[in-house]
Amino acid sequence: MSSVPINHPGRAIEWNLPSKRRVGMSALITGESAIFTIFVVAYVFYMGKSLTGPTPQQVLEVPILGTICLLSSSLTIMQAEKAIERDRMTSFTLWLAATISLAAVFLTSTALEWKKLIYQDGLTISTNLFGTTFYSLVGLHATHVVVGLFLLTTTFVFSLFGWVDSRQSERFGVIALYWHFVDAVWIVVFTVVYLIGR
Amino acid sequence: MQMVPTQRLICFGSATACLLRTTTLLAQNSIPTTLAPASTPAHQIFDLSIFVVAITGGIFLVVGGLLAVVLFRFRARKTDPAGEPAQIYGSTQIELAWTVIPVLIVVVLFLTTARIIFAIQDAPKPKTALDVTVIGHQFWWEFRYPKYGVITANELHIPVSSAGAQEAAFLKLTSADVNHSFWVPRLAGKTDLIANHVNSMWMDPQTPGLYLGQCAQFCGSQHALMLLRVYVDTPGQFAAWIKNQQQPALQDPAVAAGRRDFEAQACMNCHTISGTSATGRFGPDLTHLMSRTTLASGAMNNTPTNLRQWIKSPDTFKNGALMPAMQLSDKQLDEVTAYLETLK
Amino acid sequence: MSDYTLPVSTTIEPSASASELGTFLERLHGWVVTVDHKRLGILYILYSTFFLLIAGAEALLIRLQLAYPHNHVLSAQVFNRFFTMHGTTMVFLVGMPFLFGFANYIVPLQIGARDMAFPRLNAFSFWLTAFGGLLLYYSFLGGAGLYGVGNAPDVGWFAYAPLTARSFSPGHATDYWALALIVSGFGTLGTAINIIATVISMRCKGMTLMRMPLFTWLLLIVSMLTLVTITPLTAAQFMLLIDRYLGGHFFDTQAGGSSLIWIHFFWIFGHPEVYVLVMPAFAIANEIIPVFCRKAIFGYPAMVAASVAIMFVSLSVWAHHMFTVGMTSVSNAFFTLSTMLVGVPTGIKIFNWIATLWGGRIRFTTPMLFCIGFLFQFLIAGLTGIMLSVSPWDWQLHNSYFVIAHFHYVLVGAIVFCIFAGLYYWYPKATGHLMNERLGKWHFWLFVIGFHITFDTMHFLGLLGMPRSIYTYQPDRGWNFLNLVVSVGGLIQGIAVLIFAYNLIVSYWRGEVAGDDPWDAWTLEWATSSPPPVYNFEELPEVHSRRPLWDAKHPDDPDWEYES
């Protein structure tokens, strides 16, 4: 192979680029935010435009417990992140278990809420505009929680087998980033559906 | 050398023939062109468009001409010296200049446009204005004149506006099913008809006559044959037309059999003929069917043969129209056609 | 002063004999399971070329039907399916895959990387896109459900609700439309993420953001725009499927739903999508014009800034597709202004291209000819775009053939022209053989003539009041002759594309051997062999300016001394 020597005035270049995983996840989050924005806009646009009941005022209750659990799971996953960076694996596994339990409580509270809405209040996705937009938006978020829960549980199982250590901390950081996003979206959904829309 | 028109025609061949044909069509008013406005909104749009074409045309000549000159002048030649041409990486002053000039042009264009937007869209409605409600259906138009209690279809009648008697028609537009768009280019720009949503537009045509248009928003299989005719009447004609439309349907005992057929069949579920038991709203009102020149929203001329064939098999003219073939016997077809032919 | 080396050319690999390549089945298997960005790039290009021919054939049938009034080549129903499929195919199965094909092949080479950031995601995204396309076309067989065979979506590529509701579109054709686009939309999202991560995290030493080739810059911008563009469509299509399958009411006007919200969502996707498609065309022109006029691009920072500006402005102009739906006069004025403002950064680009040409030595090769065609046509498309942004005039022109002419000027006159330019330009890199210049010139001249016969004429049809999406028209409207002209032009373009397809295939075996750097170009993809080895570069390069190969070829006059 031939090569040409180049005289360059520069010094030896410091060359550090951002982690491709973090960049990739940030890009995914940007795209996902756009999807959520569209569903939130649809919810807001159709607020109070249902031709028949039930209305949010009649049937919605603020899911305080679920919200507290989901939001605090952001704190526990931060602890897990710190633990894995310092290679404290027992602590990591415990914090991860705490995160998973909190998320499970959130999903259960959503499931119970939906059961009440469907069987007691007779609100389904095809009842009226409120039903359509409510189940779509909250369901879209719940789907993301389920995906996150799947990722966390897989990591948890791996860590029980001792397959996870600080070398995976960057990858776990990406999962944590996604989880923070899921939590942040809930703040928006909660505000729109349960505070403004009720 | 002087050439008589026929020789000229031969000289220029079919292109001229087409041009001549275009001229005749123009004379007949049958071209729905945006270039021959006949009402204030269309006029204002046309004048604005001339201004915009002047500016954009100027830009095209300058930039396109510059590009052509550059391509010619800087083409590679055999006589070019060896090596590469001088490398120029940019110039802040020049780049600033060609950022500022477009901004100025945008400001001028925007201000001119904004004036026309408000002039047309927010024009005050005169007290004497004629109100018409337009309802789009797959694939026909329903016109209601609430003040006169008249309901008709596909052919809109409005009075002419003159310096002495300013008239304007204000349309409220909505849809019974999917989206449509009301477009009669010589009278005004188009406005969409959307269910659950009422739009409005206005026109004040200055010359009596027929103005053609059609649905401009894809609305299903027969969108292409959702044609539109606007008759601009003199005040006398318009008053006479309204008076006729207000009459209940003619009851001619000679065609009583056809009327019975009409009322006995499913026809009455979709069509209204005032003074009979037919009060359907799904299809056009037929009370004064014979006052219209076309059938099936302009798909064909309103002749007895066409009407009979249309009732027999709507698909012949408009495949995909929602009117079903009613499976009438030949005798029933003759009777119903004869009956409808009396609905002047 | 320190010494650096830059690989200028790698040794050409000894060509593998047939036995080393394996049987046909093994080679096919190799292509199916590949995660190599270059092979995936080629797969994208082949895939979109295939659909270009199909959608082109649909367009020709459409034009055959419209050549005469009251023609009976296609029935109303078949015509509606064809124009829906033509539009959907050209945007989602031709435009997008072409752009991702170029991005896949070129971007890692230009930034001196060995592959994309996530090679397996890359393969996954391609196959999602590919199966999305197959799903869409399967609707020709399965779309009618129980009613018979031979159906396809017939709601327009914009699919305005409530025409897409179950009551107006029974059967499954519309479901195929939504599902196919959701599937290929996820593929698109994956590739966009991949390109962003690649450009941000995989650049070779010394390639700062402001030293990236403009092609790479624009693809980065396009990918970022794609993230927030394709996703609203995906969301809206989920809503449509919820309506159709779960009895939801998003677009159900009987239950208080609104058609307007679909139109908004569609164009929030649809307008930035135009820029997603056209900016790769700019990207290609940015590479080709400097090389064939032998000058550095004029005003590189301004070009980057203008592209970023277009990205942001393009997110605020969608409602200029909606001037006729009855917005308030203030909204109409706002969207008029925002749309006109797009003209400013676009104007900067055109001026900078002209300034690049100024003082150069222009070589009229086939890729350059297509770029010159692009410059003229894009200028006209931009000016008719200004006309359409004038909302009162748009009340006349909207949904008329003027609009059809305008957006085909962008989609064909700018994008397809640049795609052809790019194919002629990078074909030698991918195959090692140049495409035939003589056939290339025939292709160019026939295509440019056919293009103008067709689309220039369409503007006048629009001014004469001919609406789009109509399968037939009345003979007394004065549109007959012009429609015939439009159809003839379409036929000429069809012939040109066939010449191109022939050239594409034949040059693979008979084309002149290209060598590493047939155009005497300046970006890193020309520093490796043609075709490049799987690992791209034997030694990862290090760059010190925007044109590393210029520096290598002119060590006495390197770029880094001048670049700001």
Residue C57 confidence (pLDDT): 95
CB B84 within 8 A of CB C294: yes
CB C548 within 8 A of CB C524: yes
Kindly indicate the confidence band of residue B301, based on its pLDDT and cuts at 50, 70 and 90. very high
Note whether A136 contacts C242, CB cutoff 8 Å. Answer: yes
CB B120 within 8 A of CB B126: no
C304-339 confidence digits (pLDDT tens): 999 999 999 999 999 999 999 999 999 999 999 999
- Please, which residues have CB within 8 angstroms of residue C313's CB and are 6 or more apart in sequence? C338, C341, C342, C345
CB A73 within 8 A of CB A99: yes
Q: Is A14 exposed, middle or buried (0-12, 13-18, 19+ CB in 10 A)?
A: exposed
**Closest Cα in chain C to A21:** C197
Note whether B90 contacts C295, CB cutoff 8 Å. Answer: no
CB C164 within 8 A of CB C242: no
Percent of residues, chain C, with pLDDT higher than 70: 95
CB B56 within 8 A of CB C383: yes
The backbone torsions φ and ψ at residue B132, rounded to the nearest 5 degrees and listed phi first, read -135, 135
Kindly indicate the confidence band of residue B288, based on its pLDDT and cuts at 50, 70 and 90. very high
Residue C20 confidence (pLDDT): 58
Contact residues on chain C for A178, CB-CB shorter than 8 A: none
- Please, which residues have CB within 8 angstroms of residue C105's CB and are 6 or more apart in sequence? C37, C38, C41, C42, C45, C426, C430
Residue A10 confidence (pLDDT): 53
Q: How many residues does chain C have?
A: 564
Contact residues on chain A for C257, CB-CB shorter than 8 A: 46, 129
A7-59 confidence digits (pLDDT tens): 455 556 788 899 999 999 999 999 999 999 999 999 999 999 999 889 999 99
Residue C231 confidence (pLDDT): 95
Residue C67 confidence (pLDDT): 95
Q: CATH number of the domain at A3-196, out of 3.50.50.60, 3.30.230.10, 1.20.120.80, 1.10.3210.10? A: 1.20.120.80
Return the amino acid letter for C537.
F
β-bridge partners, C513: C433
The backbone torsions φ and ψ at residue B175, rounded to the nearest 5 degrees and listed phi first, read -130, 150
Contact residues on chain A for C551, CB-CB shorter than 8 A: 6
Q: Find, among C98, C305, C275, C219, the residue nearest to C523 by Cα.
A: C219
CA–CA dist C325, B117 (Å, integer):
14
Question: Which of A6, A10, A11 is facing C6, going by the closest CB pair?
Answer: A6
Residue A3 confidence (pLDDT): 44
Contact residues on chain C for A49, CB-CB shorter than 8 A: 256
Mutate to test the interface with C, among B66, B88, B293 (most CBs of C within 10 A): B88
Q: What is the pTM of this model?
A: 0.93
B190-204 confidence digits (pLDDT tens): 999 999 999 999 999
Q: Kindly state the helix (H) or strand (E) to which residue C215 belongs, with its residue range.
A: helix C214-246
CA–CA dist B175, A176 (Å, integer):
50
Could you say which residues of chain C have pLDDT below 50? 1-5, 7-18, 145-146, 148-149
Q: What's the half-sphere exposure (Cβ side, CA atoms, 13 Å) at C26?
A: 6
Residue A12 confidence (pLDDT): 65
Note whether C201 contacts A17, CB cutoff 8 Å. Answer: yes
Contact residues on chain B for C386, CB-CB shorter than 8 A: 52, 56, 109
A 49-68 near C (Cβ less than 8 A) = 49-51
Helices (H), A127-168: 129-160
DSSP string of B240-288, one letter each residue: HHHHHHHSPPP--GGGHHHHHHHHHSTHHHH-B-TTSS-B--SS---TT
Residue B109 confidence (pLDDT): 96
C334-386 confidence digits (pLDDT tens): 999 999 999 999 999 999 999 999 999 999 999 999 999 999 999 999 999 99
The full set of domain ranges for chain B reads 253-340
Examine the pLDDT at B7 and tell me if it is beyond 90. no
Chain C: closest CA distance from residue B215 (Å): 8
B117-163 confidence digits (pLDDT tens): 999 999 999 888 999 999 999 999 999 999 999 999 999 999 999 88
Which runs of E-coded beta strand occur in C155-277? none
Pairing outcome for strands A2-8 and C2-9: antiparallel
A 6-35 near C (Cβ less than 8 A) = 6-13, 15, 17-21, 23-24, 27-28, 30-35
Examine the pLDDT at B23 and tell me if it is beyond 70. no
The full set of domain ranges for chain A reads 3-196
Question: Which of C9, C229, C242 is facing A1, going by the closest CB pair?
Answer: C9
Cis peptide before B185 (omega within 30 of 0): no
CA–CA dist A109, A97 (Å, integer):
18
Pair of tokens at residue A131:
């039903």
Pair of tokens at residue A136:
């779509």
A92-131 confidence digits (pLDDT tens): 999 999 999 999 999 999 999 999 999 999 999 999 999 9
Percent of residues, chain A, with pLDDT higher than 70: 94
Note whether B99 contacts C363, CB cutoff 8 Å. Answer: no
Pair of tokens at residue B271:
């069509």
Q: What's the half-sphere exposure (Cβ side, CA atoms, 13 Å) at B127?
A: 0
What superfamily in CATH does domain B253-340 come from? Cupredoxins -  blue copper proteins (2.60.40.420)
A148-179 confidence digits (pLDDT tens): 999 999 999 999 998 998 899 999 999 999 99
β-bridge partners, B158: B232
CB A34 within 8 A of CB C236: no
β-bridge partners, B191: B182
Q: What's the half-sphere exposure (Cβ side, CA atoms, 13 Å) at C540?
A: 12
CA–CA dist A20, C179 (Å, integer):
30
3-state secondary structure of C157: coil
Mutate to test the interface with C, among B51, B72, B79, B84 (most CBs of C within 10 A): B84
- Give the number of other Cβ atoms within 10 Å of residue B241's Cβ: 18
Please state, rounded to an integer, the average pLDDT across all residues of chain B: 90
**Closest Cα in chain C to B64:** C376
Kindly indicate the confidence band of residue A198, based on its pLDDT and cuts at 50, 70 and 90. confident
